[in-house]
Amino acid sequence: MKSIYLDYAATTPVDLSVIKKMQPFFDTIFGNPSEIHKWGAKASEGIKNARSQISQALNCNPTEITYTSCATESINLSHKGLIEAFSHPNHPIPPNLPHIITSSIEHKAVLETCKHLEKLGWAKVTYLPVDEYGLVSVAEVEKAITPQTTLISLMYVNNEVGTIQPIAEIGKLLKTKYPKIYFHTDATQALPYLDCDVKKLNVDLLSFTGHKIYAPKGIGGLYIKSGVPVIRQQDGGSQENNLRAGTESVPLIVGLGQAVELVIKNRAKESSRLKALQKNLISQLVIVPGIQLTGPKTNRAPHIASFIVKDVEGEAMMLLLSDLGIAVSTGSACNSQILTSSHVLEAMGIKAEDSHGSLRLSLGKDTTKQDIEYAISCVKKVVLNLRKMSPVFDEEENALSEVEGLH
Ligand code: PLP
């Protein structure tokens, strides 16, 4: 049976060159990087090299990179660390509570962190609406700014629908008109496909993770612009420039550095290759009656194609496609255990009963033209079969059974 993985937005396999680079750091170069003997120094060099690879990719100083365990931890460190800094003696609390602006379609890592800060009474949060394509309006961002606004946090690429937010435009606005506001972007889905030059984006904080870019799970990073006040959230030793205590996971850090270098090297070519595959996938699925694209038609990340399939449950599609050897997702992977409607689709104005039929196919380095053709025919077959079982399905109105090769 075929085995076609189309869930790269959930996670990616580790690249062989990444495994190879990590290998010696498990056994030969195993020293504790905090020790100054030869064993420690060699491990420390691995960390330093990876920091240099990452800082080149983001166009920042190596000292501005902090290793974490994942994007969720990076976001927690960024937001909690920054807001806590405003109660530090060096950073007096503004007359009122610090104010955070974010969007209603952020990953839960951002939304739950913001809610936690609200619950603690440390910050006030504005959750901006988005349009039908999942886009935040720059004018709405500016309108929401108050004298207490301390942090603006917006994702670069949405993980469910692939919408690209105008991060550079917002960054420029903030730098020129509101230079005291700190700007964070969650670049988890953007790093392999979009320019993440922190100077061009004008961001102060940028979060990313290894397992979406062909590095292992359990490693992530946070760019913190020099001078941005962030208080560490994990106390203990003085690792990571005193920002994240605990012995560093040297092999995973080395793997992250290699993976970042690799995705940046292949970015332009891979983006246009996936864009062509995505275009074919979208154009062939939206002609099926009752299948509708979610997110923008153009200006979307090249690896995410997402749809609403009417009168069909996303979970049922996902399981039947899995039986045919295809991995897809319904909504975001983090939601797939819970049968609730997606907060992203809801914010885009999609009705709950329709969002239950959401389907995301996400592409990556091993996706071929043949994979996409096979996936298209399987999606059509699965949708037809499920609709035949659906009590609300009206066969006369549905022309899907006439699509060639589906019987
Ligand atoms: N932000 C976005 C946009 C994501 O897609 C994800 C993962 O799905 C995360 C944050 C969380 O990443 P991690 O699993 O590395 O914490």
List, for residues 165-207, the tens digit of each pLDDT value.
999 999 999 999 999 999 999 999 999 999 999 999 999 999 9
Cα distances from 251 to residues 58, 69, 231, 388, in angstroms, run 21, 12, 26, 51
pLDDT of residue 1: 82
Residues in the chain where the model's pLDDT stays below 70: 88-95, 331-339, 391-407
Residue type, 108: K
Strand, coil or helix: what is 376? Answer: helix
Catalytic residue among 60, 114, 334, 378: 334
Q: Is 334 a catalytic residue?
A: yes
Question: Mind listing the domains of the chain with CATH numbers?
Answer: 4-10+267-401 (3.90.1150.10), 16-263 (3.40.640.10)
The pTM assigned to this predicted structure is: 0.94
Ligand 1 mean position to 332 CA, how many Å? Answer: 10
- Give the number of the atom of ligand 1 that is nearest the alpha carbon of residue 10: 8
Phi, psi at residue 395, to the nearest 5°? -60, -35
Ligand 1 mean position to 156 CA, how many Å? Answer: 12
Strand, coil or helix: what is 57? Answer: helix
Phi, psi at residue 114, to the nearest 5°? -65, -45
Strands 220-224 and 99-103: unpaired
The Cα 186–Cα 74 span in angstroms is 9
Strand, coil or helix: what is 322? Answer: helix
pLDDT of residue 195: 98
Query: Tell me: the pLDDT tens digits for 285-295?
Result: 999 999 999 99
CB 382 within 8 A of CB 321: yes
Phi, psi at residue 28, to the nearest 5°? -70, -50
Mention every residue, 6+ apart, whose C-beta is less than 8 A from residue 261: 53, 56, 57
Six token digits for residue 156: 């670069």
Pocket of ligand 1 (CB under 6 A): 70-72, 107, 109, 155, 159, 186, 188-189, 209, 211, 220, 334
Ligand 1 mean position to 147 CA, how many Å? Answer: 31
Q: What is the dihedral of CA 346, 350, 353, 354, to 10 degrees?
A: -130
- Give the number of the atom of ligand 1 that is nearest the alpha carbon of residue 220: 15
Strand partners, 361: 305
pLDDT of residue 332: 43
CB atoms within 10 A of CB 237: 12
The Cα 360–Cα 304 span in angstroms is 7
- Give the number of the atom of ligand 1 that is nearest the alpha carbon of residue 109: 10
The Cα 196–Cα 203 span in angstroms is 10
pLDDT of residue 270: 98
Tokens 């049968």 correspond to what residue? 339
The 10 Å CB-count burial string (b at 16+, else e) for 268-290 is: eebeebbbebbeebbebbeebeb
The Cα 32–Cα 178 span in angstroms is 43
The DSSP call for residue 367 is: -
The Cα 49–Cα 250 span in angstroms is 11
The Cα 75–Cα 206 span in angstroms is 8
pLDDT of residue 389: 82
Residue nearest ligand 1's atom 8 by CA? 10
The Cα 20–Cα 346 span in angstroms is 43
Ligand 1 mean position to 220 CA, how many Å? Answer: 10
pLDDT of residue 390: 73
Cα distances from 47 to residues 36, 40, 255, 354, in angstroms, run 14, 11, 10, 47
